Structure 1
Amino acid sequence: MPTNASNGQVHVIPARKGVATRVAQGQVITVINTHGTQVVDTWAFCADDIAEFMSMEHSRGAMLKVNPKNGDTLCSNRRRPMLTLIQDTSGGVHDTLIAACDRYRYQQLGHVGHHDNCTDNLATALGTVGLTPPETPSPLNLFMNIPVGEDGSVTFEAPVAGPGSYVSMCAEMDLIVAFSACPQDLIPVNGQGCVPTEAHYRIDAKAPRL
């Protein structure tokens, strides 16, 4: 488990659950894949108006790529910069294509009854800060491995991120950021063992040293 450092306290993203936090412009938020192989669905909303949110389709158009790398900026649905990726020790494999899991996804996979899901986790997390999401935007799926084949096909593969690896992003405006430690346990997006685990995050005034 990561330890606290001088600039910011480490907070838990519980396994299968979501959290939300405020991040001021210029602060750096770091998402830690504590045990390795855990996908963390990530959303950002403008703190002044959550109808403006980080948009994967707008970001892909701005970056001209499907997988953000160091120096790339993720944009809002109003095409304004929101988060810039500044440090990545996870292997650099993330996903901007796949929608957040929801109860319909688990029904399609044959699950009967309730199953934790990232769509509900987002709503619950924003509820803790008194907000209701205007919709469920497609998330930035940190550490998620969705290779795109030469024929345009995609597959769901295990993450390449190792324990303790992390991604740091700088806020380009005042934000509300939400995370979900993806509860998917029917296909191996969280590793071959299909066991979701906790992750952690921290907020620093500048790029951290972990």
Structure 2
Amino acid sequence: MKNKNLITGLGVLSLIAALLVAADHIDAPDSMGTSADIADYYAFEPSLGSDNTVFAVDLQSNVLPDLAYGTFDENVLTEINIDTNGDLVEDLVIQAIPRDGKMYFFGPVAPTTTGTSGQVMVDSPLGSVDISADTAIVETTSSGVSLFAGPRQDAFFFDFFQFNAVIGGMAPEGFKPAGDPNSTADDDTTAVDTFDGANTMSIVVEIPNTMLGETTATNALGLTVYKTWVTTNAKQ
């Protein structure tokens, strides 16, 4: 397999069953404010009993609507790592890297080396899609793979200022945040989604499970699952 040695880097690990959401916003100083900063990672079936799996990577949180879109860094390679046998070592990798307004995808294929290899698997193209701006663009390949890259509304609901008030002991006495089954209408109206109107730069792949193969990994519920995590790798 011919590879292009491009990148070394950093990442975040998350394991999934039916769905996992790993919030990790703006806490890595070296990558904060760039598309190397992993905000959230989701992996799920698009519908119950589907034969596909969706991988959604949210990068660079708090991208405000009045800022320029298409801010994927061309020096950052994003890798979706998939473990099929439960040993927490990637058996397959899907890669995404932007070039000239398009996001190019490679894989899924077994990496030549495990860990953060930083090698673009140019011999295993999966497809490409124009990076979206105001209108979402989805490309579906002849293999039934759907691809997307561009800004999306941040799915992370968080009252950042009330959180700081609670941590600092300054929240109103008896306050119960929105979503608490004992909260009142007054409580709910004081909750504010700090990230409402903000976006992340998202990379989404929906892929047939036949391209990922069978899995022997088992979660705590006894269900067979793919264990998966995402890394971003920045060119040095």
TM-score w.r.t. the length of structure 2 is 0.29
Of Structure 1 and Structure 2, the greater strand share is in 2
Work out which structure has the larger RCO, using CA pairs closer than 8 Å and 6 or more positions apart in sequence: 1
TM-score w.r.t. the length of structure 1 is 0.32
Of Structure 1 and Structure 2, the greater helix share is in 1
Larger Rg: 2
